[in-house]
Every structure is written in C-alpha cells, then in structure tokens.
Amino acid sequence: MDRKEKAACIFNLIGIICLLIPFYYHFTSVRNTEKLMEDFTESVEEKQDEETEGEKEEQTAISEADEAIFSEGDVIAILEIEALGIRYPVIEGATADNLNQGIGHLTETAGIGETGNCVLAGHNGSRHGEFFTHLSELAEGDTVMILSADGTVFTYVVTDSYTVGPYENSIKDQGEEKELTLFTCAQKGTMRFVVRCLLYEETM
C-alpha cells in the first residue's frame, strides 16, 4: 500500500468517525434521560409505599413507567406534552448538563403548581434529544402535563406564544396567577420562543 492509499484510508476513517460522533452523543443523552426517568419513578414508588392506604387512595395513580425520575440528581418532575409527542424529566437548574438530559427549571422562579410563574427551558435542535425543538407548534388550548414527585399531576393550558430577544428577562416576571412559561432558542439562537400557560383550575 503506497502513501496515497494509506492517506486515503486514514481520511476515510476520520470521515466515518466524524459521522458517528453525533449518533454517539444522541445515544448517550437518551440513555441518561431514560435513567433519570427510571430513578424518578422508583423514588415516587418508594414514597407512596411509605404512606397509609387511605392517603394512597387520595393520590393520583402512577404507572410503573412513570414512577422513577426524582431520586437521580435534581429531578423534580416529569413533563409531557401530548401535542408534541415529548416526555422529559424536569431538572432543578438550567445548567448545560441539565439541559442535555431534560428540561431545566429556572431556580429563581415559582415551583410547579405554585402561585407565580414557573419557568422551564429546553434545547432547540440539540444533538442530545428533541426537547423543545417543536415548541413553536403548540397552539392555544393545548395542554402541558407535569407529574410532581408526590404523584400530583398539574395540567396547564397554553394561552399565548411569542418571540422575544435573547436577553428579555420579562419572561421570568412573577404574578398572582399559577403560570407556566416554556422557552427555547429561536432563529439560530438570536431570539427566544416563549409559550405561556395557566394552570387548568385557573382557566375554568
């Protein structure tokens, strides 16, 4: 094998490796996300086992597939948006590592189901997963379901959506209603796409 053939083989090998790298990152992230979900489900199941039978009857039933996400790391909930076909763990804090595994809760905003504005961030077009890539497809009236660690399911209804600048902090403003704000990057990271929701009981 002469030098040209060796060089060609090396370049081909490098090309194959470059093609495989995105698949590796995606596979690793999906596996980590699934592990978070499983651990959360197990944690919820353990908490329910510690309660009395009467208390269990008052709580929302949780399937085995939903019982895992809260014990690993700082997972605080499971978010599901049926209209987009997505289901991810919600992790406390919107750090780079957290956003590569699920949806990040901005710690300075209201908690899930609480009075105020609960703000959640997700990647758009990430090699690690789908996350909020199709968030702009949500329409007014669509629902966002969030399962908390104690088995409570909070249903939010989409009320509005819009685009803001990348440094617009008004999306974190707090009020007297039980709000949920979802946001992701838009226009190649130069803007943010925002979805506003209200807790179902407050939209009735």
- In whole angstroms, what is the distance from residue 118 CA to residue 111 CA? 6
CB 8 within 8 A of CB 47: no
For domain 3-203, give the fold: Sortase; Chain: A; (2.40.260)
Q: Where are the domains of the chain?
A: 3-203
d(CA 92, CA 178): 19
- Tokens at 202, concatenated: 């407050």
For residues 54 and 80, is the Cβ–Cβ distance under 8 A? no
The answer to whether 69 and 101 have CB atoms below 8 angstroms apart is: no
Rounded to two decimals, what is the model's pTM?
0.74
What amino acid occupies position 166? P
Cβ burial, residue 48 (10 Å; 0-12/13-18/19+): middle
pLDDT single digits (tens) 77-123? 999 999 999 999 999 999 999 999 999 999 999 999 999 999 999 99
- Using 50 as the pLDDT threshold, list the residues of the chain that sit under it: 52-61, 66, 69-72
Beta strand pairing call for 116-121 and 178-186: parallel
pLDDT at 37: 65
